Amino acid sequence: MFQAFRIPILLMAIYSLLMVFGGHWVWSTSHESLLNDHQSKLDRFSVHISSQLDKFAHIPELLSKDKELVDALHSPSNSAQIELTNRYLEHVNSVIQASDTYLLDSIGTTIAASNWNLPRSFIRRNFAFRPYFQEAILGNENQYFALGSTSGKRGYYYSYPVSYAAEIIGVIVVKMDLSLIEASWKGKQSFFVADDKDQIVFMSSNPEWLFKSLQPLSQAQQARIQESRQYLDTKIESLHFSGDLESATSNIESPHKLVQEQFFSSSRFLAEPKLTIRVFSPTHLVWWDLVAYLVVLSLIFAIIYLTMQLNHHRQQRRAQIDRLQSEAKQKLEFQVLERTSELHVEIKHRIETEHVLRQTQDELIQAAKLAVLGQMSASISHELNNPLAAIRSYADNGRLFLAKEKTDRVDDNLSRISALTDRMAKISHQLRSFAKKSTAEELHTLQILPVLHSSRELMKPQLKSERVKVNELPETFDACVLANAIQLEQVIINLLTNAIQAMEQQSDKQLAILLEVRESDHQQTSTLLIHVDDNGPGFTSSSSGDFFEPFHTTKKNGLGLGLSISQQIISGINGKLVTGHSPQGGARFSIELPLVEQEQKEKNQHPNQKQQTEIKPLAS
């Protein structure tokens, strides 16, 4: 008993060990890889932020030494000087590609700005409440983040005092648009955040986190922020992250509706701009790796276990089969004679059934041919009535000419009557040949061109009555196939009939019969392709594969057997009947038949084709 369960128990023990220790290793490796990715992103973003902020850091200092600004501060009521300064700041702002550049007087009122001619102009607005002014008017260079009171846009402000004769007379300010930095903060599975000393988010790849504190603010912090108007009247909502946000790496979570997820967080403090950049990645990224490992591990062990079980059952089955074969061998010797007679009877019945099936198939093919003849009956009747009417007319005229002893005119009328009877005999012969009953075993080597001419002649009345234009067949085309001539004619006539019916709604009906020989690189036998193209509505992708199903039809009075029988006929001679799209925009049916090699042509040539003359194609 224990021997039977020894291997499954061993597999379960190995699986448990790999699940515990391997799972721990996968989790640790994935977590470490995620944190390394965080550090790489923090390195990249810290360099990017520093480089972006440093581009504007020294510009206020350079502008503070400009004489234009000093003159404007000395003469704030001089409109010409102020306009000159406005245009100068507008030019500078355009060159450095800053958001705004403006000049404040000693009480914090804007006297000149790059946006002087815009609706949101800073002119005559007072920014004395801003820390960047308060620090600069005391002689200190300052950098400060805030929400613009006029534009309502986030900005990073650079300020520098403007001095004259060792006296500070104003402040020059350059504002940078922070969206330029955020543009590169895109991640598929991580969030990027930059927050100030109060942990208020002012840059983020997730716009919903903007102007929200990572952790709840104290009353003192709220009062100080409200007093500084750094975020104007924006209500600072907390995201309520719990965890050690001050650590370089930590595991944090939040119940806030905008978060509701656990994160692995990595952060870095940038001393110069006095901000902290953070990367948040959902913890499920690591858990997904662990789940994937466990799923793969389970599948591997399941496959191993099932393989072993299958092998065990196979061995048992083989032993059982050997035992049964030994028993059956003894019984078989006594049953051979009895079974032999039963097999003879069964084989006879099967042969008879196959014979009946072939007869039924031949009858069905014959019925389909007669159905085609029935469909063409109106056109054929019209084709025969015209010569009959002409014969009657020529005969009546001949009697009159004979009475008047105009023998030359009588001879002419008789010649025309003879030609018309030949034409009617030709039509009758073609119909009789087509209606002749044939079997699938009657295969001969056929030249394809006479078969096509004969099929087209049979269809000529219907083509004329439907006013269908048909292309001319080539005068010579030396290609032979092994087939039954009558059945191959039936397939081609079925395809021509379907094409005519498909073009019922077309004003300009065009039908083409094309021949193509396709050489094969892998087989010794080349392939003949007979294409029947029309300019009807064509196939839909969903229905084109159903046309060869028995009883599938789109016609009101159709049985849906024509194409099914045609496919059976072509399959019986090792060919294919396939659908496609015509270059004319309609449907294409293609018959693919193997070509007969030259040495087989004389051996299997159809007796009727040895002396058959080619029928001249008639335009319809």
DSSP letters, 404-472, are: TT-HHHHHHHHHHHHHHHHHHHHHHHHHHHHHS---TT--EEEEHHHHHHHHHHHHHHHHHHTTEEEPP
- pTM as predicted: 0.43
Long-range CB contacts (within 8 A, 24+) of 73-81 = 73/103, 73/105, 73/106, 73/111, 73/162, 73/164, 73/169, 73/170, 74/164, 74/169, 76/105, 76/111
Tokens of 290: 């662990």
Give the per-residue pLDDT at 514. 92
Which pLDDT band holds residue 56 (cuts at 50, 70, 90)?
Answer: confident
Whether 499 and 600 map to the same domain: the answer is: yes
Find out whether 142 and 47 touch, Cβ atoms under 8 Å.
Answer: no
Give the per-residue pLDDT at 168. 94
Whether 304 and 368 map to the same domain: the answer is: yes
CATH classification of the domain holding 546: 3.30.565.10
> Would you call 192 helix, strand, or coil by DSSP?
strand
Among 608, 620, 615, smallest CA distance to 423 is for 615
Whether 101 and 124 map to the same domain: the answer is: yes
Whether 293 and 361 map to the same domain: the answer is: yes
Is 390 a residue whose pLDDT tops 70? no
Overall number of domains in the chain: 5
The stretch 347-373 carries a mean pLDDT of 68
Tokens of 203: 């840059």
In a domain, 255, yes or no: yes
Is 112 a residue whose pLDDT tops 90? yes
Whether 65 and 149 map to the same domain: the answer is: yes
Strands (E) in 39-190, as ranges, are 100-105, 110-113, 142-147, 154-164, 167-177
Looking at the DSSP bridge assignments, the partners of residue 518 are 527
Rounded CA-CA distance 148/152 in Å is: 5
Which of 262, 285, 308 finishes a domain? Answer: 285
> Would you call 112 helix, strand, or coil by DSSP?
strand
In a domain, 615, yes or no: no
Which pLDDT band holds residue 618 (cuts at 50, 70, 90)?
Answer: very low
Give the per-residue pLDDT at 427. 64
Whether 558 and 450 map to the same domain: the answer is: yes
Strands (E) in 260-327, as ranges, are 261-270, 275-282
Whether 172 and 193 map to the same domain: the answer is: no
Rounded CA-CA distance 287/262 in Å is: 11
Q: Give the torsion through C-alpha atoms of 431, 432, 433, 435, to 10 deg.
A: 80
Whether 600 and 476 map to the same domain: the answer is: yes
Range ranked top by mean pLDDT from 107-116, 297-306, 323-332, 518-527: 107-116
Find out whether 194 and 42 touch, Cβ atoms under 8 Å.
Answer: no
Range ranked top by mean pLDDT from 160-174, 400-414, 528-542, 554-568: 160-174
In a domain, 228, yes or no: yes
Whether 138 and 171 map to the same domain: the answer is: yes
pLDDT digits (tens, 9 = 90+) for 70-110: 999 999 999 999 999 999 999 999 999 899 999 999 999 99
* Least confident piece of the model among 9-23, 142-156, 531-545, 591-605: 591-605
Which of 435, 452, 477 finishes a domain? Answer: 435
What counts of helices (H) and strands (E) characterise the chain?
16, 19
Which of 130, 151, 177 finishes a domain? Answer: 177
Kindly give, in sequence order, each residue whose CB lies less than 8 Å from that of residue 409, ignoring residues fewer than 6 positions away.
397, 398, 401
In a domain, 19, yes or no: no
The stretch 102-131 carries a mean pLDDT of 92
Whether 274 and 359 map to the same domain: the answer is: no
Among 198, 193, 196, smallest CA distance to 182 is for 193
The residue range of the domain holding 151 is 58-177
Whether 463 and 429 map to the same domain: the answer is: no
Kindly give, in sequence order, each residue whose CB lies less than 8 Å from that of residue 132, ignoring residues fewer than 6 positions away.
142, 143, 144, 146, 157, 158, 159, 171, 173
Please list the alpha-helical segments (H only) found in 533-597: 562-572
Pairing relation of β-strands 154-164 and 142-147? antiparallel
CATH classification of the domain holding 156: 3.30.450.20
The stretch 563-572 carries a mean pLDDT of 82
In a domain, 619, yes or no: no
Give the per-residue pLDDT at 371. 59
CA-based radius of gyration for the chain: 48
Among 163, 167, 157, 146, smallest CA distance to 211 is for 146
What angle (nearest 5°) sits at the alpha carbon of residue 219, between those of residues 216 and 223?
A: 115
Q: How many CB atoms lie within 10 A of CB 120?
A: 13
As a whole-number percent, the residues of the chain with pLDDT over 70 amount to: 79
Rounded CA-CA distance 258/213 in Å is: 13
Give the per-residue pLDDT at 610. 42
Whether 453 and 499 map to the same domain: the answer is: yes
In a domain, 229, yes or no: yes
Among 452, 410, 413, 458, smallest CA distance to 433 is for 458
In a domain, 5, yes or no: no
Among 391, 251, 285, smallest CA distance to 27 is for 285
Rounded CA-CA distance 529/49 in Å is: 69
Which pLDDT band holds residue 250 (cuts at 50, 70, 90)?
Answer: low
* Dihedral pair phi/psi, residue 479, rounded to 5°: -140, 130
In a domain, 512, yes or no: yes
